[in-house]
Amino acid sequence: MLERFKVPAKDIVRVPEPSLRKATAAIFEKMGCSPSDAAEGADTLVVTDLRGVESHGVSNQLRAYVKQYNDGELNPRPKLRTLKETPGTATIDGDRGLGIIIGPRCMKMAIEKAKKVGVGVVTVQNSGHVGAVGHHSMIAAKADMVGMCVTSGGRHVLPTFGAEPRLGTNPISIAAPARKEPFFLYDAATSAIAGNKIFLAERVGSPMLPGWIAKMDGTPVMEEMMSPGRGNYWQLPLGGTREQGSHKGYGLALMVEVLATMLAGSSSAMLGEPRLAQDHFFAAFNIAAFTDVEAFKDRMDAMLKELRTTPPARGQKRVIYPGLSEAEEEQDRRKNGIPLHKEVVQWFDSITAELSIPKLDRMKK
């Protein structure tokens, strides 16, 4: 993550992972979730924070979910319904369940199918936010598969040359296991930056960079500026301008729309704004069906090592690969606690008091 998104040192409160996990699960239980669902939801969020992906951890998401449960938008006791099924595929109605909770269940279905026929694909309609898509891909990677998860929904991002938004930030993730190297884990929005990163930047007082957002008439903003605030900008696809490749970010967003929304038998969020317009796609490719698993891991190790030992460009410290700094961050955060913005900790203190849940611990100095 770029430095500009990190919580400034003076605003950091470090909290221990087990306490954050406990408090988060307790909140989900108070929302009406079963204990196992609550634990699953806490796991998705806290593991994401452990990896340093603040944008999709407890800070930005949890209060939104609480509101959605309180407003009755999310169903805390969803009964997943299979709309269609074949040996390699299933289409699921998520019954307004939160994606971060039902997502792991759907990826596990895909994994079971991949064990039988080599590849498994599960699509989900009628579900809430799925969190960091990479979390779900990693579940497959840990089961010796290549995992892929994408999610679509919302209407914030402009198509190339457009003056009105048509697309969600539609992220793509893929994960694959290695042997000694940290696993490969790619997880990124197809917009220039994730929507949540804009809120993070607003919280930490960092400006937007050229090519990230557009004026309301569709003109890409090509100078650095502070976010004009929600409702006063549109997001640009990855690439920013046509010359820099925004048609690729736009096309990849549509790829996600086809895989997640269309294959879930759902209708694109761009055609209206249903309250719960998130569709997900989970795929597991069973490595053993394609090739020798041990040789695969050796080849992954060789590739990932070659990448991280690439000579750096002038002025750069090192080359990393997707998943490497996240693995390093996880080691640090398990030991030294998860750095939250003091405002987020304040929110925890008020919600735990309100719901009569034990207060969030602070790391001992």
Which has the closest alpha carbon to 249: 220, 278, 273, 272? 220
Give the x/- contact pattern for a second copy in 260-279, rule: CB under 8 A.
--xxxxxxx-xx--------
What is the footprint of a second copy within residues 64-83 (CB under 8 A)?
A: 83
* Binding flag, residue 223, a second copy (CB under 8 A): no
> 24 phi and psi, to 5 degrees?
-65, -45
CA angle 130, 281, 174 (to 5 degrees): 85
Which member of 10, 71, 79, 217 binds a second copy (CB under 8 A)? 217
Q: Work out the number of other CB atoms within 10 angstroms of the CB of residue 312.
A: 9
* Binding flag, residue 119, a second copy (CB under 8 A): yes
Which member of 39, 43, 179, 210 binds a second copy (CB under 8 A)? 210
Which member of 232, 310, 336, 346 binds a second copy (CB under 8 A)? 310
CB of 153 to a second copy, least distance (A): 13
CB of 40 to a second copy, least distance (A): 25
Contact present, 168 and 129 (Cβ < 8 Å) = no
Six token digits for residue 250: 């736009």
Which member of 12, 39, 319, 355 binds a second copy (CB under 8 A)? 319
Of 18-26, 40-48, 252-260, 343-351, the window that binds a second copy (rule: CB under 8 A) is: 252-260
Which member of 306, 332, 343, 354 binds a second copy (CB under 8 A)? 306
Which member of 64, 226, 302, 353 binds a second copy (CB under 8 A)? 302
Which member of 188, 204, 225, 355 binds a second copy (CB under 8 A)? 188
Of 9-17, 73-81, 99-107, 182-190, the window that binds a second copy (rule: CB under 8 A) is: 182-190
d(CA 170, CA 195): 10
- 13 vs 236, beta carbon nearer a second copy: 236
- 12 vs 255, beta carbon nearer a second copy: 255
Q: Are strands 145-152 and 234-235 parallel, antiparallel or unpaired?
A: unpaired
* Binding flag, residue 162, a second copy (CB under 8 A): yes
Which member of 5, 69, 184, 347 binds a second copy (CB under 8 A)? 184
CB of 132 to a second copy, least distance (A): 14
Ramachandran assignment for 239, one of left (phi > 0), alpha (psi -120 to 50 degrees), beta (any other): left
Residue indicated by tokens 């988060």:
24
Which has the closest alpha carbon to 141: 173, 175, 190, 170? 175
185 DSSP assignment:
E
Six token digits for residue 145: 């598969």
- 87 vs 205, beta carbon nearer a second copy: 87
* Binding flag, residue 254, a second copy (CB under 8 A): yes
State the DSSP H helix or E strand holding residue 244, giving kind and residue range, or none if neither: none
* Binding flag, residue 149, a second copy (CB under 8 A): no
Which has the closest alpha carbon to 74: 143, 35, 127, 30? 127
Q: Which is it for the CA torsion 90, 82, 68, 353, positive or negative?
A: negative
Which member of 21, 96, 105, 166 binds a second copy (CB under 8 A)? 166
Which has the closest alpha carbon to 151: 37, 56, 21, 42? 56
